[in-house]
Amino acid sequence: MAIKNQTLVTEFILLGIPHTEGWETMLFSVFLIFYLCTLLGNLLILVAVVSDSHLHTPMYFFLCNLSVLDISFSSVSTPKMLANLLVRNQVISMGGCMCQVFFYHFLGSTECLLYTVMAYDRFAAICHPLRYTVIMNHRVCALLAAGTWFTSSFHATILTTLTFQLPYCGSNKVDYFFCDIFPVVKLACGNTVIIETVSFTNIGLVPMTCFLLILVSYVRIVLAVIKMQSAEGRRKAASTCASHLSVVTLFFGPCALIYTQPSLSEVLVTPVQIFGNVVTPMLNPTIYTLRNKDVKGALKKEAFQLDIETHDLPECGAQVE
């Protein structure tokens, strides 16, 4: 009955990054540069893959999915964080908060599953090279990609629904720089045991399962590489796998620190979360794709064609026959 006498919360106030008083302008500039680099780098990947028919292979198809995810994932929290730093716009509506929770877990889960699919793709390419085109045909690739998106949307819908079914009638100050389940649930008036249990289970279960599947794939890959007689084949396999392992480490590292180490101080959790939200999506294109000779060749080819088209344009005042 006490809840009925209180005003229900219709908006939240994001308190932002703690202990940053006086550093807002510098942080805004740094995060803005990171965000713009994320957009530019991943858009270049999409342009390169779409424009070059030689890159229309399963590996680059999944890389396009990863680029879309990196652009979307960094856009969940970064624009609002930038607004908070620049003009102290800390208010976020209930609907906006729900969207942040949903898309953060939807895109995070999708990326987690996509890394697993990419590991399987490398496993098929290295361990079964003669049957690779049959195993990873267009239909299989489309189903695997669609499956990651659909499964993650279902996962995020459950978490978001459970989170915002709770009544919020007390404080509306979220002690974080974006709306995530645990900072928001702290403000709930009702019993939070169910959502906390489901969140810990799901958020821990999905990455752990994906990590184990990736580990199994790479054990098989390492065994296959050891048996290779060609030094060039070993080098190419090691180069491809090293890039994938790097981005997997960047993704699962912060995830493991945040969700498996509750004893971490709040001072450490926030920088780790910022690294995963802002820095990792910017590094992925460089680590995984921009170092790839095929993609760099496609980008140079696209730039060359654009340069030719520019020079072929008639000068101002010239008559066009």
Half-sphere exposure of 230 (CA within 13 A, CB side): 7
8 Å CB contact between 273 and 77: no
The model's confidence at residue 321, banded by pLDDT at 50, 70 and 90, is very low
| Residue 16 φ/ψ region, left for φ over 0, alpha for ψ in the -120 to 50 degree band, beta for the rest | left
Q: What is the pLDDT of residue 275?
A: 87
Q: How far apart are CA 56 and CA 100, in angstroms?
A: 33
Full-model pTM? 0.85
Query: What residue spans define the domains of the chain?
Result: 3-312
Helix axes 58-87, 138-164, angle to 10 degrees: 30
Quick one: what percent of the chain has pLDDT higher than 70?
A: 82
Predicted local distance difference test score (pLDDT) of residue 270:
79
Does residue 69 come out as left (phi exceeding 0), alpha (psi in the -120 to 50 range) or beta? Answer: alpha
95 - beta bridge partners? Answer: none
Instruction: Give the Cα separation of 3 and 53 in Å (integer).
Output: 61
Q: Which residues pair with 173 in a beta bridge?
A: 13
Domain 3-312 sits in which CATH superfamily? Rhodopsin 7-helix transmembrane proteins (1.20.1070.10)
Q: Mean pLDDT in the chain?
A: 82
Out of 6-10, 156-160, 224-228, pick the least confident: 6-10
